[in-house]
Amino acid sequence: MSKSTPILLLPGLNASARLYAEQTPYLWRFGSVMVPDHTRDDTIAGIGRRILADAPPRFALIGHSMGGYIAFEIMRQAAERIDRLALLDTSARSDTPEQTKSRLECIAMAEQGRLAELNDNVFPVIVHESRYDDMSLRAICDAMSDDIGPAAYVRQHKAIITRPDSRSALAAIRCPTLVLVGDSDLLTPPDLAREIADEIAGAQLVLIPSCGHLSTLEQPAVVNAALGRWMAA
For 40-44, what is the mean pLDDT? 98
Task: Spell out the residues 6+ positions from residue 29 whose beta carbon is closer than 8 angstroms to its own.
Answer: none
pLDDT tens profile 111-148: 999 999 999 999 999 999 999 999 999 999 999 999 99
For 191-202, what is the mean pLDDT? 98
- Whether the predicted pLDDT of 190 surpasses 70: yes
- Whether the predicted pLDDT of 1 surpasses 90: no
- Whether the predicted pLDDT of 27 surpasses 60: yes
Q: How far apart, in whole angstroms, are the C-alpha atoms of residue 122 and residue 117?
A: 9
Q: How far apart, in whole angstroms, are the C-alpha atoms of residue 55 and residue 50?
A: 9
Q: Where are the domains of the chain?
A: 1-233
**Long-range contacts from 67-71, C-beta under 8 angstroms, 24+ separation:** 67/9, 67/10, 67/11, 67/12, 67/15, 67/38, 68/10, 68/12, 69/44, 69/160, 69/163, 69/166, 70/10, 70/38, 70/44, 71/10
In degrees and rounded to multiples of 5, residue 155 shows phi and psi of: -60, -40
pTM listed for this prediction:
0.97
Handedness of CA 45, 149, 90, 125 (dihedral sign): negative
Counting residues of the chain whose pLDDT is more than 90, the rounded percentage is 98
Domain 1-233 has CATH 3.40.50.1820: yes
- Residue 183's pLDDT band, with cuts at 50, 70 and 90, is very high
